[in-house]
Structure 1
Amino acid sequence: MTRLRLGLRTRVVAGFAAGALTLSASMALVSYEVTRSELISGRERAAVRSATFDARVVAAGLNTDRPDIGGMLRTLDTGGNRRVLVFHLGHWYSRSADTGAATAVPQSLQRLVGQRGQGIQRTRVDGEPAVIVGILLTPATALYEIDYLRELDQTLRTIGWVLVLVASVVAAAGAGLGWYATRYVLRPLRSVAAAAQGITAGDLTARLDPATDPDLQPLSASFNEMVDQLSRRIERDRRFAADVSHELRSPLQTLAASASVLERRRDRLDERTAMAAGLVVAELARFQSLVDDLLELARGDLPAQLEPVDAGELARRAVQRRGLDPAIVDAPGPEAESPRWTVDPRRIEQVLVNLLDNAVTHGGGPVAVRVETAGADGVIEVDDDGPGVSAADREVIFDRFVRGRSAGARGNDTGTGLGLSLVAQHVAAHGGRVRVLDRPGGGARFRIELPGVR
């Protein structure tokens, strides 16, 4: 089971939202409980005062010879929210005929009033919340006043929903604050990422401004020092490779001239000597190709020199350099609107030449070269007619001095192992990527994707 990994911004925003929700919910709960307690306590005190007043009126009416309890209850001003019951000599009395009077007052409250002379209890009467106050008038008579809490219950519900809404708004505000905070905090990291991407693309001049944020000055200084050291190291390696390759060219040219003499006189040599001369010529040609590739690698770390070029004409020129049939190029001709790309023409032409050489050497020859655009991106595809590239080789085939395990099956094994590495390096200098796919019908397809060339 794959564990979901959340990004830093998502975690920070979620943390802010959770913290704000927890704090607001706690405050809302405390506020609700305090408000509820105060409102109910105030309502109970008011109910006790009303019941005490009504008890005095009823008690005064009981001092007559023939007390009319029902009449006395009807004289009480109870409004529409209170209900008065009297238990006298084992009978219940109310303002009107009330069949539920006996069950309206809980037995526990009746026992409490009988023991202490007064009591109060919150309960539900007829499905509605209410508070009942009981007062003992005589040993055989008790008054019970039911105060319904409909309005108070509705008020508490409204307060509860308001507090829930406030908690939700505070949580959303916390998430917004977290998003803003992460945007501010991650801004330096985006600068670091942008600088790192520029360095990856070959721009070794990318640096961070130490004055942007004093708290990040050590990071900026360390990053800039790292880039300076990397730049110096790459420059030393580049100069070393260039110097070695340059120094090798002079004796190599002398050897090549001497070998060409032997090659022209092979028909005058005996069989073994002629074979040795042929091997020398072939290895010198391979050595010359290796030196040229090393020189190209030494220059490959420099930034791309971008300029608008005719992509179709660039492909046709590369095909002609290798003496191949121009008909394999699938791109708009001079009479059509040929795509113009902003690229480094030297690098892209070298990419095409190396892919064509790879197809000739290992893939049975190129069969198609397509140049097309996809929005603002450019796409180049080179198809060959070989056995293809195995899935195990597709990742390592672009490494330096690596020839795939299927190279023998794809043709001879005389390459330097640098051609496809140069392709990947030149494509990376444009911020693009190169992939190996299966060509429909057999063979390999090398696909190059160059972003933002139009």
Structure 2
Amino acid sequence: MRQPGRRSGKPRGSRVPRGLRARLVVTFVLVALIGTGTATALAYRDARTAVLSRTQEAAQEDLRTRVAALAPDVDVPPDPRSLAALARSVSSGLTGAPLVVARYENLKAASDGSPDDPRVTAELRADVRVSGRMSFQRVTRDGTPYLVVGTPVTYEGGRPSRLEVFAVTPLRAEERDIAALLTSVRDGLLPVLVLTAVLALLAARTVLRPVRDLGRATRRLAEGDLGTRVEPRGRDELADLARDFNTTADALQTTVAELRDQEAKAREQEARAREQEAKARRFVADVSHELRTPLAAMTMVATVLDEDADRLTPDAAHAARTVSAETAKLTRLVDDLMEMSRFDAGVARLHLTEADLAATVRSSLGLRAWTDRVRTELPDSAPALIDVRRIDVTLANLVGNALRHGAPPVTVRLTTGDGLATVTVSDHGPGLAPDVVAHVFDRFYKADAARTRSEGSGLGTAIALENARLHGGTVEAANRPEGPGAVFTLRLPLRPAAGPEGEPR
């Protein structure tokens, strides 16, 4: 939801131009404004410098000429009266009759009777006295600019007379001329900016038309209209961009068509694979179910033959025992297949009971006569809520796998903590190859293709994993970090949350 006072993520009062057209116009106007302002500033500076330079040169020339004409008639050292007369005479002969101040050492006089005029600064007097030549200075007094020109009076041959004359000329007329020039330039700035804005709008319209066309085509393409194309106009960069867009759209349309064909084929193959897998599972379940009855009869016959094997001939006894062993293996295989079919059908259920997990481990090893072949590290007791039968099957598969494919010693370790029970089954065999670890829990997977069929069905680890998952746990396979050998780790919650019919939630 947009917040009050905001639009499109920016403050409502923002004056930043958002459209490309507005940015182009603003850029053009700014460039024109900067250019015009720069030209105005340069023109003002040059005009002011020219006007002031002309005034300065004229004032200096007038003063030099007037002093040169009157100086021979002045007695040196002068008295106050002759000094005042000199100041008045010089002033009357200059353009505009400016104020003139004449000085001789400590004696001074002015054309208007005020010899201590502050516009004749100490810096200018010192410059005239020390340099011995004409100097000038621009000063401002009460907001009015003045040009002050000073010159020493010399004898013939250039000897200084210690007589100095200063003329103070106002620069009001020059400042008015310069201000009028600045006003005229400023008044012409607005029409220039308006003309620039109009030209910018025309240029933006010409430039942005193909850009807008590209924008509309891009939106249609994004909405799924893969047949959208743009008509290139001209031979500039925008036309090249339009042609590149059309090329990209062609490639995209071709790629999408190919991907759709591949996706349709993949969906079809996936559907066939699921159907075949479902048929295979139903076939295994049906075959396993159908084999149970004849297997039961075969088991009874094999048991009788095995019991009477001692009274048979050696060849017949060997055959009887072989039939009995193979029948038992076939029975276990059918039982495993039936168990996997229940997992696949989602009908496998837990029957949770309060039990001692440590005692369950000992019982599982003792039932199979593995107590002397397996080392155990078990606590005195580990109370847990488990399905004893499924945990027994899981332990039997993991320990049996270690005994068949690993090397002694095989160790079973049980630890509890943080509501979890961890059972590790480790051996000192060659361990698991990297490509085996990723598939060790796959059904019917055997690491060694040359392994004989009597070494198992390849369902043991898969059944162990499914039983652990029913409990809300897991089984992991890895190699022992401290040396050769494999280690299988079973993790179970001590108190799994049970749902209907004992199934964990």
TM-score (norm 1): 0.47
Q: Which has the larger radius of gyration?
A: 2
Q: Which has the higher contact order (CA 8 A, sep 6+)?
A: 1
